[in-house]
Amino acid sequence: MSTEAIHDDHHDHKPSGIGRWLFSTNHKDIGTMYLIFALVMLFLGGASAMMLRAELWEPGLQIVDPDTYNNLLTNHALIMVFGAVMPAAAGMANWMLPMMIGAPDMALPRLNNLSFWLLPFAALMLILSFVVPHFGGGVPINTGWTLYPPLSLQAGIGMDFGIFTLHILGISSIMASINIVTTIVNMRAPGMTWFKLPLFAWAWLLTGLLLIMIMPVLAGGVTMLLFDRHFGTSFFDAAGGGDPVLFQHLFWFFGHPEVYVLLLPSIGILGMVVPTFSRKPLFAYKPLVYSMFFLTALGMVVWAHHQYTVGMSKEVTTYFMIGTILISIPVGYMLFSFIFTMWRGSMTFETPMLFAVAIVLMFSFAGVTGIMLAVVPADLQYHDTYFVVAHFHYALIPGALFGIYAGVFYWLPKWTGHMYDERLGKIFFWWTTIAFNLTFFVQHFVGLAGMPRRISDYSPVFTDFNQISSIGAFAFGASHFLFVWIIIKAVRGGKRAGDKPWDGAQVGNAGLEWALPSPPPFHSFTTPPVVK
Ligand code: CU1
């Protein structure tokens, strides 16, 4: 089908009212729905985190029992990973990718609709998994997002709802990934060769491929869990000759690359934001793309660094240790690439750039604690302590969430046609950044001092630091009302955004706001460049 034909097809079919959204095959509408869904889930996941931090305000149990605490903790993780970060990144992919590569829409628009509309059902299932145990459904999901047996074999019916939630999410992610990969491979405008792709497109190509490789493994793992629970198998049940450690391998074969699924789209966003606000092309674009490939490939083969304590052989743990430490090479490369892009640039510090600079600093810090955790004898000490919690929140909040915020502020003018309130944006940046550091920095210390994670109570010696952490968390949560207000304000009005809202310099024929070594494609928002 030619490009024109696809175009016509879309103009023929234009439902109005609620139908516009229910039956939408338009990448911008679906992108908007993904982003709104992600925002709602961010508040739900945030609310569970607030309850955890309230419970941890002082020693002793105040507001929830231990099982409910662990259920909230599981929900917090699942909602943030699958409900907030992934859909937000998918929403940005939907909005921006077709325009970046010069395509009229996504390659598979109807599949796109289905990928999105599965999500509300997954969310409903997850909410049911939380509610049902309180109506005689047995023990809730008290395992954390890792769902390790034997605990997950003993939980009540809530666990089955949780497993179905993951099945639906998995189907949705795989379909969305197939769509994104197909779009990037097949729908590029003439002249948009591989090494002219914006970094965001590269990031999503690799993210999509990763998801296609890992989601089926998680689906298989939780299906085996379901069979152990109801159909008399014993894959993971030692009493029947099974092995619970097998589940850990299956889970982390998915789980470690999943971290990169969360990080890569945000790295792609940095690849757009940093050149624009430095008014220089991306430093070493090609090696940066290669290092993303290296990161993706290496990320597939280091999973067992999450399970050093289960008694694997010395040779195996050494392999996983060395593999994990090697990952600091591509990650370090990316960060230096962004630093050298900024180097001697005409930098300005609007909200997206503030987030970008903060990400480079705070994510590097997570890299350092990551190397500490990769070292086997050290990890045996840190395992299951708050040090791990502090580490991955420094990786994921700057690395994934702040990257998404950078993207939201960067593209809000293109999405809404209005400039957001820059003053409020800057307040939001400083508020979240300070609150985030307040919450998680101290957790390194309680962790090193031995405070275990995933436990609703703690020794009184940890009270002070936990209260600092809770104050930070409440401030972090509260800052998001400002975030929503900034977005609402920009949607409703404000200064009109021009073709190039950020005054990104023109380098040759390339607008830096697309951070391309090539001209922006014709389907973009920007005025088409002069064709030679
Ligand atoms: Cu990992």
DSSP designation for 507: E
Residue 521's pLDDT band (cuts 50, 70, 90): very low
Residue 531 has pLDDT above 80, yes or no: no
**Alpha carbon of 262 to ligand 1 centroid (Å):** 12
**C-alpha to C-alpha distance for 441 and 393, rounded to whole angstroms:** 10
Tell me the C-alpha distance between 527 and 521, whole Å: 10
CB-based contacts of 194: which residues, under 8 Å, 6+ apart? none
CA–centroid distance for 294 within its chain? 19
Question: Could you tell me the distance, in angstroms and rounded to a whole number, from the CA of residue 314 to the centre of ligand 1?
Answer: 18
Per-residue confidence band for 166, with pLDDT thresholds at 50, 70 and 90: very high
The confidence band for 63, taking pLDDT boundaries of 50, 70 and 90, is very high
Segment 186-214 shows an average pLDDT of: 93
Q: Is the pLDDT of residue 11 over 90?
A: no
Expressed in angstroms and rounded, the spacing between residue 55 Cα and the centre of ligand 1 is 28
pLDDT at position 137: 83
pLDDT tens by residue, 12-52: 556 778 888 899 999 999 999 999 999 999 999 999 999 99
Over 70: is that where the pLDDT of 141 sits? yes
Q: How far is the CA of 323 from the centre of ligand 1 (A)?
A: 11
How far, in Å, is the centroid of ligand 1 from the Cα of 514? 32
CA of 305 to the centre of ligand 1 (A): 6
Cα of 339 vs centre of ligand 1, distance in Å, is 25
Question: What's the 449 CA to ligand 1 centre distance in angstroms?
Answer: 23
| pLDDT tens, position by position, 308-317 | 999 999 999 9
Give residue 130 CA to ligand 1 midpoint distance, Å. Answer: 27
d(CA 32, ligand 1 centre) in Å: 31
CA nearest neighbour of 424 among 375, 479, 364, 382: 479
Give Rg (Cα) of the chain.
23
Q: How close is the Cα of 306 to the center of ligand 1, in Å?
A: 6
Cα(400) to ligand 1 centroid in Å equals 15
d(CA 256, ligand 1 centre) in Å? 4
- How many CB atoms are located within 10 Å of the residue 318 CB? 12
Q: How far is the CA of 373 from the centre of ligand 1 (A)?
A: 10
With left for phi above 0 and alpha for psi between -120 and 50, is residue 238 left, alpha or beta? alpha
What's the token pair of residue 429? 């940046």
How far is the C-alpha of 144 from the C-alpha of 306, rounded, in Å? 14
Distance 36 CA to ligand 1 centre (A): 29
pTM for the model:
0.92
Please give the structure tokens belonging to residue 212: 């296609």
Residue 458: partners with Cβ closer than 8 Å, 6 or more residues away = 56, 59, 451, 452, 466
Ligand 1 centroid vs 251 CA: distance in angstroms? 11
Report CA(255)–ligand 1 centroid distance (Å).
7
- Does domain 30-515 sit in CATH 1.20.210.10? yes
